Amino acid sequence: KAGVTQTPRYLIKTRGQQVTLSCSPISGHRSVSWYQQTPGQGLQFLFEYFSETQRNKGNFPGRFSGRQFSNSRSEMNVSTLELGDSALYLCASRDQGDRAEAFFGQGTRLTVV
Amino acid sequence: AQRVTQPEKLLSVFKGAPVELKCNYSYSGSPELFWYVQYSRQRLQLLLRHISRESIKGFTADLNKGETSFHLKKPFAQEEDSAMYYCALNSGGYQKVTFGTGTKLQVIP
């Protein structure tokens, strides 16, 4: 099976712009989670989608949003970008079992200038 | 609410020395604990899970429910063990997986 695929790998945006990141989970996985990874804060949970519904949400402002499509692919959108949004954004997919391990993508490196 | 605490941001050890990466959790039920590892320029990947009770790359971790800990141990550190390590808790059901803030392990040659 192909692994979790995230596109694009790198992005440079300016403050105030918006950005959309994409994640294709492992085939058959219906749960997709998004994380923000920074050197100072580690892995911070953004949200999780399951069967096109947001199942869990972290403590991020409303500028961060996401969605999941019927084929389980997910997108994450950040509007009105701020310098502090610069980070590695990771996507992880899980199988249906509620204690299944998470499989991570390589991430999208977002730089806001 | 569930929480995972990794008290050390950086742990430096000499090659051949024992390693212990600490992880404490708070959750009232029966969680499943994981250790994930991220080597330089590689994706975050599962190292081991407590339910498997196995040793991976010489690492072991025992779940201590009394102390609510899941420390990762290896008797003799190798240079290739240098990486970022994250402890994670999965409480099952519709709960999200909670990660600790991570510990960077640096093995000095």
Distance CA B29, CA B9 (A): 27
Whether the per-residue pLDDT at A99 is higher than 70: the answer is: no
Residue B8 CB neighbour total at 10 angstroms: 16
| Mean pLDDT, chain A, whole residue set | 93
Query: What percent of chain B is modeled with pLDDT above 70?
Result: 96
Closest CA to A25 of A88, A96, A78, A104: A104
Question: In this predicted model, what pLDDT tens digit does every residue of A31-52 receive, in sequence order?
Answer: 999 999 998 788 899 999 999 9
Q: Nearest chain B residue to A46 by CA: give it.
A: B96
Question: In this predicted model, what pLDDT tens digit does every residue of B62-71 receive, in sequence order?
Answer: 889 899 999 9
Distance CA B48, CA B82 (A): 16
Whether the per-residue pLDDT at B56 is higher than 90: the answer is: no
Question: In this predicted model, what pLDDT tens digit does every residue of B71-94 receive, in sequence order?
Answer: 999 999 999 999 999 999 987 666
Closest CA to A112 of A15, A22, A37, A40: A15
Whether the per-residue pLDDT at B14 is higher than 90: the answer is: yes
Which chain B residues are Cβ-neighbours of A33 within 8 angstroms? 96-97
Instruction: Tell me which H or E stretch contains A34.
Output: strand A31-38
Q: Give the list of residues 6+ apart from residue A69 with CB closer than 8 angstroms, or none.
A: A52, A75
Kindly list the residues of chain A whose beta carbon comes within 8 Å of any beta carbon in chain B.
3-4, 33, 35, 41-43, 45, 48, 50, 55-56, 58, 90, 92, 94, 98-99, 101-107
Distance CA B106, CA B109 (A): 10
Amino acid (one-letter) located at B5: T
Highest mean pLDDT among A78-82, B26-30, B47-51 belongs to A78-82
Amino acid (one-letter) located at A75: E
Residue A42's pLDDT is 83
Chosen from B6, B8, B33, B43 to mutate, greatest number of chain A CBs within 10 A: B43
Strand partners, A63: none
Question: In this predicted model, what pLDDT tens digit does every residue of A6-34 receive, in sequence order?
Answer: 999 999 999 999 999 999 999 999 999 99
**pLDDT tier for residue A2 given thresholds of 50, 70 and 90:** confident
Copy the structure tokens of residue B82: 């240098």
